[in-house]
Structure 1
Amino acid sequence: MYEWRGGQKNIYETSSVYTINRVTESDGGGYSCRGRRGSFWTEWSDSTSLKVIVPSKPTVTLQPSWTQIYSGETVTVRCEIQGGEGAQWTYEWRQGQKNIPETSSEYTITVTESDAEGYSCRGRRDYLLTYWSKVTGLTVSSKPKAELRADRTAVLVGGSVTLTCSVNPSSSSGWKYYWYRDWKSYQPVTNGQISVSEGGLYSCRGGRGEPVYYTEWSQSVRIDTTVPSKPTVTLQPPWTQIYSGETVTVRCEIQEVEGAQWTYEWRPNKLNTPPTSNEYRITVTESDSGLYSCRGRRGYLLTEWSETITLTVSSKPKAELRAYRTAVPVGGSVTLTCSVNPSSSSGWKYYWYRDGKSYQPVTNGQISVSEGGLYSCRGGRGEPVYYTEDSESAWIDKIVTVSGADSSSSPVWLMVGLVCGVSLIIILLLLLYRCRQFKFTFEFIVFISCFRSIQSESHSLGSSTNHGVNQNETHEYNSLQHGKHHEPEQSAVYSEVKTGAAEDSLMYAEVKRPKKDKAKKKAGQ
């Protein structure tokens, strides 16, 4: 026969099998047995536990009840057994398929992204067990960063700017927003939006929970207060046309706030290389052409942007040289003009060179020269001097008098030339007249040779010429009247003009008459 013990009640069963019908909570417990034969008993068997599962299913809840959890936040998972209030339950937990050595109804954890597997629980009381709860999952994301937006970054004196702080995704909830100005705490607000009227460097971050869990800092936004003052950009030298290689200075001038310790911002941005100065000295290239403007800054105070000025940079110019004639008369001069195009460019001095050597610098670009030579020029302006390309060269000749004559003989030469010219014209007209009258064909040869200077023969030259003409005319006329010829086949008329000495130069005119005798013989035949 057998003897049983266990559970929470006496067992009157002597068979080797103990059957429990309609198990109740009181049937739970440890069961053991032993055998008996006559007066002999075996030892008690090892106890076997009977655990009675009650028809109750716990629920796992999350506190705080946020759907989006971030790495580093502290949350509490809680196991709640409906209808089991007041009972002394112990709890079993597991994460995914892994058991957790925790027996309380609440389990507090600082989550990481690996905690996203989900949690479940069940209750235990003596030999009673509940069912396992449903798995409650956690969505764990990396630590978020706050985002700061400003509707504008400059505020006029007396105005305000609206700043907005948020945490993405927008589905995450429970945030308060903490504001900072110049890295000092400013104010916490709930709706994440504030209006500010002071300039400064603003940032924010979100926070929630207890203890407070903070997001990453937002990016900083600089808010400046604009003062009603507009600078002026000037160009030195103030030339409208600038050439590649010239050195110019752009300057930012703030007229209304003298003595203030301003720093300056420039457009284009390539000028904003710390420390920012109120002027920049630039040796320009054509790539520096463009619009320039500036504004002043002092702390969080800003002026308005200045009006823009236009810098136009052209390629290096070439000087142009003009000469109104290229020969210098005796005792005279030639005017040379040097210029730089376009004519709108200003500030030029002109540097002159004769035979490759420096001649003289002048301002108006025009000089008079009385010496022959190879002249060129170039323009220059600014400090240090910026030079144009050299002009083309111009050769200037100087006219000199004939050897043995001086400048006082020029009027005499002029008179002699005039008398000779008039005399030759008269002789030509007379010969043409006579040839037409007597129907002669003629050949007129003039040879003039002048070797020496004639100083005072103009009057004698005229009378000599007239005398020679009259004498020949008389000789020719008498010869024709009497039918006498010096030569059998032809006769000639000679006119001789002496200039100065007899050996110096001669002028001859020769007229040939046709052979009349032969013509008459032919007619008689």
Structure 2
Amino acid sequence: MGHSLLCMMGFFYKPKAELRADRTAVPVGGSVTLTCSLSPSSSSSSSSGWKYYWYRYDRYYKLVTSPDAVFLSNEQISVSEGGRYSCRGERGEPVYYTEDSETVWIDTTVSNRPVVTLHPNWSEIYKGETITVRCEIHGGDTEWDYEWETNSTIKPPNQTEYRIRSASSSNSGNYRCKGRMKSSQHKTTEWSDSVTLTVSDNKPRPVLTVSPSWLSPGASVTLNCQVEHPSAGWSFYWYKAVPDLSEKSSSYELLPDGSGTAQDSYIIHGQTHTAGYVCRAGRGDPEYHTDHSQPKFVWSADVHSAASLTVSPDRVQHFTSDSVSLTCEGNFTEWRVRKFSEDGRLSDCRRMTGSTCNINTSESDTGVYWCESGSGEFSSAVNITVQNDGNGPILVSPVHPVTEGASVSLSCSLRTQ
């Protein structure tokens, strides 16, 4: 009974060959070593006496012979052409075959070189921008299927380019690609070098500088707008700040020829009165815009504007805890007094009574002050300094400039006299 069971097992059991390759692709000018053996599950059978044969599939399986391979030993061959390979063992007379091995796919690496490019070529872009990641394969007129590899959250489709219409941080990562010939599917390029795409979730805010800060007669005003990555395709938009007292803010009015300039600077000729400016930048197609910059001001001491500012007591320097009133005058009904402090902060007067701002001075009140009317007029600007030495003297000098040739009285004052 035991003998007949063994016979039945011998009749039904057939060992299987196993094919292993030392690499999955033939490098340019190189080769791949294939090894055939009995699979581990067949190890109970005797492994001696087998002669191994290799087959390559090209529309049908064909026996691999020299010179298509270099026969290194009974178990090993070296091949320099890609394709689908399998093997099997044979022994005995009459010949007994193992089961065929599983098919192993070996690619042939061609010399065409893939390159990943970004269009536009910005290594860092911002959330919401549009950018295209492209796989370009140089050399010959071959048509390709494309494969991408990336550590980003979203994998590109297997096409020559990946258009990201509204980028997010999920698109950040390294991208590389390779091509497979449409006409010969086992021929493939090497992987390209990686290109890093960084998508920032922060919306950029440009920084505006204004020079000079104080107007002198006949001077031009130069605005300069800086974005974090200044060389990366930005164009610039230039605006004048128009006071909007109902919203406690400003609206922005485009300056003449101030739409989409290529230069990051803008020159204003003939400015005579105090004014505020902002800029922003845009790039891409469709165009992506940054936030507006913080407003920056150019101040005029000219008293011939439609609005004016009166300071009481009429002096530049003040002691701490002085009561100072700043009154806006002109043919307007609504006013606000604004301050630009030494640390660069812009603020509105907190204690307005009608057209007058009342200050009980402290060191933080040092800054430039001016009035803005509800209809968009700016007054001349004044410097106010609050002395930081409680026992020191102050210079008593008029807040506004004096006319050339006029007499002026200067004096020193202590808090006690």
Smaller-chain TM-score range? Answer: 0.5 to 0.7
Tell me: CA distance 1:240–1:304, structure 2 relative to 1, closer, same or farther (3 Å).
same
CA RMSD of aligned residues (A): 4.2
Q: Percent of pairs identical after alignment?
A: 46
Deviations 1:393-426 (A, max 9, x none): 23555645278xxxxxxxxx84541xx35xx89x
Q: What amino acid maps onto 2:267 in structure 1?
A: S
Tell me: CA distance 1:402–1:322, structure 2 relative to 1, closer, same or farther (3 Å).
closer
Quote how far apart the aligned CAs of 1:153 are.
Answer: 1.6
Gap runs ≥5 in structure 1: 1-57, 75-110, 112-139, 404-412, 429-525
Quote how far apart the aligned CAs of 1:297 are.
Answer: 1.8
Q: What amino acid maps onto 1:348 in structure 2?
A: W
1: CA distance, partners of 2:176 / 2:188: 14
Report which of the two has the higher share of strand.
2
Residue 336 (structure 1) aligns with: 223
Quote how far apart the aligned CAs of 1:386 are.
Answer: 1.8
1:168 aligns with 2:40: yes
1:186 aligns with 2:62: yes
Q: What amino acid maps onto 1:196 in structure 2?
A: V
Residue 260 (structure 1) aligns with: 142
Contact 1:144-1:168 within 8 A present in 2 as well: no
Quote how far apart the aligned CAs of 1:157 are.
Answer: 5.4
1:394 aligns with 2:281: no
Tell me: CA distance 1:402–1:376, structure 2 relative to 1, closer, same or farther (3 Å).
closer
Tell me: CA distance 1:266–1:366, structure 2 relative to 1, closer, same or farther (3 Å).
same
Tell me: CA distance 1:294–1:390, structure 2 relative to 1, closer, same or farther (3 Å).
same
Q: What amino acid maps onto 2:46 in structure 1?
A: S
1: CA distance, partners of 2:109 / 2:119: 28
Deviations 1:118-166 (A, max 9, x none): xxxxxxxxxxxxxxxxxxxxxx8xx876533101122145643222233
Quote how far apart the aligned CAs of 1:325 are.
Answer: 4.5
Scaled by the length of structure 2, the TM-score of the pair is 0.54
Residue 366 (structure 1) aligns with: 265
Deviations 1:70-93 (A, max 9, x none): 6xx52xxxxxxxxxxxxxxxxxxx
How many positions carry a matched residue from both structures? 280
Deviations 1:11-41 (A, max 9, x none): xxxxxxxxxxxxxxxxxxxxxxxxxxxxxxx
Q: Which one of 193, 196, 199 corresponds to residue 79 of structure 2?
A: 196
2: CA distance, partners of 1:239 / 1:388: 16
Quote how far apart the aligned CAs of 1:311 are.
Answer: 2.9
Which of 1 and 2 has higher RCO (CA within 8 Å, sep 6+)? 2
Q: Which one of 293, 300, 306 corresponds to residue 192 of structure 2?
A: 306
Gap runs ≥5 in structure 2: 66-72, 243-250, 307-401, 412-417
Contact 2:148-2:177 within 8 A present in 1 as well: yes
Q: What amino acid maps onto 2:192 in structure 1?
A: S
Residue 232 (structure 1) aligns with: 115
Tell me: CA distance 1:148–1:322, structure 2 relative to 1, closer, same or farther (3 Å).
same
Residue 367 (structure 2) aligns with: none
Larger Rg: 1
Q: What amino acid maps onto 1:229 in structure 2?
A: N
Residue 97 (structure 1) aligns with: none
Residue 316 (structure 1) aligns with: 203
Deviations 1:189-222 (A, max 9, x none): 995544333211224466889896864x654322
Quote how far apart the aligned CAs of 1:178 are.
Answer: 6.5
1: CA distance, partners of 2:136 / 2:26: 22
Tell me: CA distance 1:400–1:199, structure 2 relative to 1, closer, same or farther (3 Å).
same
Contact 1:201-1:223 within 8 A present in 2 as well: yes
Residue 286 (structure 2) aligns with: 384
